[in-house]
Structure 1
Amino acid sequence: MSNTAQQRVRALKVDNFMRLRTLDIQFDGHTMTLSGRNEQGKSTVLNSIVWALGGGAAGKKFPNPIHNGETKATVEVTLDDFVVTRTASVDRKTSTLTVTSRDGSQKYASPQKLLDALIGKLSFDPLEFSRMNDKDQLAVLLDCVDLGFDLQELEADRKSTFEERTFVNREVKSLDAQVQGIDAPDEAPALVDVGVLMQELTAAQRAYADVDSAIRDVSSWEMKLIDVQTALDRARQVSVDLLAARDDHRDPDEIQEQIAGSTEANKAGELIRQKAIFSDQLKAKTAEADELSNKIKALDKKKSDALAKAEMPIDGLGLDENGVTFQGQPLSQASSAGLTKVSVAMAISLNPNLRLAYIRDGSLLDSENMKIIQDMAEACDFMVLIEVVDESGEVGIVIEDGMVATDPEW
């Protein structure tokens, strides 16, 4: 017999477990209603199954399993292929467990190991899922769906990439503003060395001053022509020589005009240089932002592809970064019927081997939702126990003072 074969609970016998005194129930059909007044032991029916099958973890949940005043508690759970019996005694710190084949022909040497392979979310209540917040619903759904990767790690990677891209895009905007803010000409004039021009200006001014001085000398000597003819001839010769030398220099006014224009020329060249630098940086940052955007798209595609391939507990169920969705909308916005369908599908998915779920607040269900639960339980060959508060004694199996008060009504 395979340890992982699907099992349904077929019968339950309880003696002196917590609030229950004695109980013997046959689980027929696919839904069963447990009714009665509050504090009569309805919830303890499921707790007894949890205790019998759950081992050490369940033992911690129910540290005092024996009915008040008794010395021993026994719970026997009959499954499709096994009979599970757990007993607690006041003289023992731990309970004892036996698992046999249903026909009694085989007793299993490692009973808890066998049961551990069956137990999923044994105490999962579909209505409990419907009341969870978005984050908890998402965590439960991820337990049911194999995406092939850790969704939280993918979301963290996407978040860090998105934040990095946001930072890079700020730099892109800043650099773009700096590039657009520089009103530089398309082509820069040749750079002018002002120092060289100043040296040339000094030399030219000196040359022109020398010529002016020589001309004054000529005039002076001409006035004294009679007395200083020889000196005049010499001065004329000097004047001729200086005039020749002056031809090697540009007009000082022209040089000064060029110096005046050099500031604007050099400024234009510097603006072009700055714009080129910022343009290169802008190009690099834009490429970096594009690369990060492509990474985000790849992460989103990986996620969407995985979700598209994932086998969801029910058609129309999905998830996004905010939580669980149903038919493309947040689950919180689903109708009451839609929420019930999703919740029951989750309960079935979370208990793939032990086909049992339990609804503790069955009194909240209307006839439409009750019909949905019954149909889904039958379609999936699942047993759903429904606990309701009822004092009429006419609904389902009535639990009163820890015992079955009436015969089951199906």
Structure 2
Amino acid sequence: MIKINKLEIENVKRVKAVKIEPTTSGLTIVGGKNSQGKTSVLDAIAWGLGGNKYRPSQPAREGSAVPPYLHIVLSNGLIVERKGKNSDLKVIDPNGQKGGQQLLDSFVEELAIDLPKFMNATNKEKANILLRIIGVGDRLHELETKEQEIYNRRHAIGQIADQKVKFAKEQPYYPDAPKEPISASELIRQQQEILARNGENQRKRQRLTQIQADYARQGQEVERLKLLLNEAQAKYAQLAADLEIAQKDTLDLIDESTEELEANIRQIDEINRKVRANLDKDKAETDANDYRVQYDALTAEIMAIRQQKTDLLTNANLPLPGLSVEDGELIYNGQRWDNMSGSEQLRVATAIVRRLKPDCGFILLDKLEQMDLETLREFGAWLEQEGLQAIATRVSTGDECSIIIEDGYVTGQEQLPEQMPAQAETKTWKAGEF
């Protein structure tokens, strides 16, 4: 990893003359009060390594007749300079060969010199950067899109199923009603058949009565007409036979009642209403069950996709243990970005930035006064463990600061009168580890 070994800055923004040798691993804090030149140090490094897009709007120190001067020595032997009236860039390798911004861009990560750009990004943007550098962004996006599509379908089916269940519960049910609606014409036909049979029975009864009457009259005729005995006896015998037949025909006759059919005819509308209600309830329950089966099937699909997403991230080469992405957001040790401590946020950001360009072994951090000393120590220890270099600013003059800048100079640096008009040499301050 390439780091910053030395840097000299003169007449850039608020800096008058500063020389620093940052610690190679860990945290180098540039301390001081407000408006003394701390941030100007970081802006100068960003300009020197990141190119003219990081050039300050007013790079020259106000009131200075001498143009800005930058001299940065990197651990790979490159020397980066900006000097002269136009602050032209000059990059020289250990063999004396000259290079340019393209060479610096090959190993200097933009977010390393502009970490706030990452820190201030949205949660989704942070997650997308991570997914891009571990190479699973497209596949994870595809799985999330499919999961959302199935989730929406399942949600719609679940709502329909709930509505069907509610509708089925609200429907009345009549256990005594027939399974199918009753036809009025069928009931009338059955009634007419019974009435026809009953009419036939009545005719047979009338015939019996008639034969009985004839038989009685004929008996009287036999008594009266002794002279016609033979003829009358013959006829009487015939009538006796007819009587026997008629008696046999009517012996087992039973008339059927039409009361139930008549009641059904009168109540057909009510019966059919109950039948239709029962059918509606049965259909609603069937529909609800069908939709619930679909809902459960879609739930299984969603769980399978989520498992694929988990496997995808589990098998990915993540830049930091405990780092992952859930629902499009960064997760570190189970916490989303806004629930992470300041040290955890810096740790995550630094690890991701390092993975973007592994050769870039340093980052610039501004305004670390928001962190307490314990957090600073925790973050500094992690940097040392990872072999990373961080140059940071903090509004403080405490012992946690590697150097203190006051009025554009490093505190304790002596300025000789004869050195002031020219590119003044300054006392080198080697930052201690923190």
* Counterpart position of 2:71: 76
* Counterpart position of 1:171: 160
Q: CA RMSD in A?
A: 4.9
Shift in CA distance, 259/145, structure 1 to aligned 2, threshold 3 Å: farther
Within 2, Cα distance between the matches of 1:156 and 1:307? Answer: 16
Structure showing greater radius of gyration is 2
Q: Secondary structure at the match of 1:16?
A: strand
* Counterpart position of 1:100: 92
Question: How far apart are residue 8 of structure 1 and its match?
Answer: 0.7
Q: Which deviates the most, 284-293 or 201-210?
A: 201-210
Does residue 98 of structure 2 align to residue 113 of structure 1? no
Within 2, Cα distance between the matches of 1:88 and 1:279? Answer: 86
Within 2, Cα distance between the matches of 1:101 and 1:381? Answer: 23
* Counterpart position of 1:379: 385
Contact 1:126-1:340 within 8 A present in 2 as well: no
Report Cα offsets for 1:298-337 as digits up to 9, x if no partner. 2211222123223343333334338444433456555x5x
Alignment of 1:312-391 (within 5 A): 312-321=318-327, 323-330=329-336, 332-333=338-339, 339-341=342-344, 343-351=346-354, 352-390=358-396
* Counterpart position of 1:240: none
Does residue 32 of structure 2 align to residue 36 of structure 1? yes
Contact 2:34-2:395 within 8 A present in 1 as well: yes
Shift in CA distance, 38/101, structure 1 to aligned 2, threshold 3 Å: same
Alignment of 1:204-243 (within 5 A): 205=195
Query: What letter matches 1:194 in structure 2?
Result: A
Shift in CA distance, 197/362, structure 1 to aligned 2, threshold 3 Å: closer
Within 2, Cα distance between the matches of 1:367 and 1:393? Answer: 10
Within 2, Cα distance between the matches of 1:395 and 1:198? Answer: 107
Does residue 191 of structure 2 align to residue 201 of structure 1? yes
Within 1, Cα distance between the matches of 2:400 and 2:173? Answer: 90
Alignment of 1:216-295 (within 5 A): 253=257, 255-258=258-261, 260-261=263-264, 263=268, 270=276, 273-274=279-280, 277-278=283-284, 280-295=286-301
Query: What letter matches 1:353 in structure 2?
Result: D
Q: Secondary structure at the match of 2:112?
A: coil
Question: How far apart are residue 368 of structure 1 and its match?
Answer: 3.2
Does residue 59 of structure 2 align to residue 50 of structure 1? no
Does residue 19 of structure 2 align to residue 19 of structure 1? no
Within 1, Cα distance between the matches of 2:292 and 2:88? Answer: 69
* Unaligned runs of at least 5 residues, structure 1: 1-5, 230-242
Q: Secondary structure at the match of 2:374?
A: helix
Contact 2:6-2:20 within 8 A present in 1 as well: yes
Question: How far apart are residue 23 of structure 1 and its match?
Answer: 3.1
Higher RCO (CA-CA < 8 Å; seq separation 6+): 2
Shift in CA distance, 391/280, structure 1 to aligned 2, threshold 3 Å: closer
Query: What letter matches 2:90 in structure 1?
Result: T
Question: How far apart are residue 213 of structure 1 and its match?
Answer: 9.2
Within 2, Cα distance between the matches of 1:250 and 1:193? Answer: 27
Does residue 59 of structure 2 align to residue 65 of structure 1? yes
Does residue 305 of structure 2 align to residue 305 of structure 1? no
Within 2, Cα distance between the matches of 1:126 and 1:83? Answer: 26
Contact 1:127-1:361 within 8 A present in 2 as well: no
Question: How far apart are residue 356 of structure 1 and its match?
Answer: 1.6
Shift in CA distance, 377/205, structure 1 to aligned 2, threshold 3 Å: closer
Query: What letter matches 1:77 in structure 2?
Result: I
Within 1, Cα distance between the matches of 2:299 and 2:306? Answer: 11
Query: What letter matches 1:399 in structure 2?
Result: I
TM-score (norm 1): 0.71
Report Cα offsets for 1:342-375 as digits up to 9, x if no partner. 5235314303332222332334444433332332
**Once the two structures are aligned, what percentage of the paired residues are identical?**
21
Q: Secondary structure at the match of 1:7?
A: coil
* Counterpart position of 2:147: 158
Question: How far apart are residue 396 of structure 1 and its match?
Answer: 2.9
Contact 1:137-1:323 within 8 A present in 2 as well: yes
Report Cα offsets for 1:180-215 as digits up to 9, x if no partner. 656476996687643144245346647766986998
Query: What letter matches 2:93 in structure 1?
Result: S
Contact 1:126-1:358 within 8 A present in 2 as well: no
Question: How far apart are residue 399 of structure 1 and its match?
Answer: 2.2
Question: Aligned match of 1:147 in 136, 151, 164?
Answer: 136
Within 2, Cα distance between the matches of 1:353 and 1:74? Answer: 26
Shift in CA distance, 10/299, structure 1 to aligned 2, threshold 3 Å: same
Within 2, Cα distance between the matches of 1:79 and 1:183? Answer: 86
Shift in CA distance, 287/389, structure 1 to aligned 2, threshold 3 Å: same
